[in-house]
Amino acid sequence: MKALTTFVKIIGTASAAVAKVVVVVVVVVVVVVVVVVVVVVVVGGGGGGVVVVVVEAIVVVVIVVKAAAAVVVVVVVVVVVVVVVVVVVVVVLAVLVVVVVVVVVVVVVVVVVVVVVVVEVLVVVIAAAAAAMVVAIVVMKEMFSVIVPLKKYEGQQKISRRRRMEGGGRGKDEEEEEKKKKKKKKKKKKKKKKKKKKKKKNKNKKNKKNKKNKKNKNKKR
């Protein structure tokens, strides 16, 4: 009877530990999803890159969920192995002193508790890393979109300074003229083709010709 009671206690402890781990994993995944959505809405709202940020956030969330699922599987496997070992030990040592059984139960409980704590820490760390990755991706994109145009502008300024120092560059007047020419080219529109007007035929001329022809015919007759 004592062996059965200890066995039931062990199974109850193991199942409670597994349930606790599953709950923690679900909560962490939900928190990560909320963080990702907030980051996408607040930080990635400008610049037209919202779609890219959303895709990257979804990828990160999928990674977190997979890692959490793997951790849960490992915990379940460990608990099952421990329960099997304890059952074998309880069956073998059922005849021996009760103290040995109590020691085994204590060891199993300690192992299960340690595994649960480690799993919780791992899940929290993974979720925090995923959220940090999303934030870092968005911040890097914003920084890159600001830094690159600044570098291009600085490079153009350096080139213009060198030309002025060397004296072989173009003057301001020439540069302004080129800018004006470019603007004029842009403003030029395609000329519309003028439609040729059809000349109206004079009916009076035709009538006169007909009258002359009739007179000539009459004279000939």
157-169: pLDDT as tens digits: 666 666 666 655 5
Please check the confidence at residue 47 and state whether its pLDDT lies above 50: no
The per-residue pLDDT for 182 is: 74
- One DSSP character per residue, 109-169 reads HHHHHHHHHHHHHHHHHHHHHHHHHHHHHHHHHHHHHHHHHHHHHHHHHHHHHHHHHHS-S
- Structurally, how many domains does the chain consist of? 1
For 100, the token pair is 């040995």
Give the length of the chain.
221
Quick check: is 157 in a domain?
Answer: yes
Residue 220 lies in a domain: no
Q: Does residue 6 contact residue 101 with C-beta atoms inside 8 Å?
A: yes
pLDDT in tens, 83-137: 767 666 666 655 555 555 566 666 777 777 777 777 777 777 776 777 777 777 7
Q: Domain for residue 182, yes or no?
A: no
The count of other CB atoms within 10 Å of the CB of residue 120 is 16
- Planar angle of CA 159, 165, 168, nearest 5 degrees: 80
Place of tokens 């059965």: 4
Q: Which structural domain, as residue segments, surrounds residue 57?
A: 2-41+52-164
Q: Is residue 86 a part of any domain in this protein?
A: yes
Separation between Cα atoms, residue 14 and residue 123, nearest integer Å: 19
In a domain, 188, yes or no: no
Q: Which residues of 72-108 are buried (b: 16+ CB within 10 A; e: fewer)?
A: beebeebbeebbeebeebbeeeeeeeeeebeebbeeb
pLDDT score at 105: 67
* H or E element, residue 13: helix 2-42
In this prediction the pTM is: 0.32
Q: Are 105 and 10 in contact (CB under 8 A)?
A: yes
205 located within any domain: no
3-state secondary structure of 46: coil
Inside any domain, residue 170: no
81, part of any domain = yes
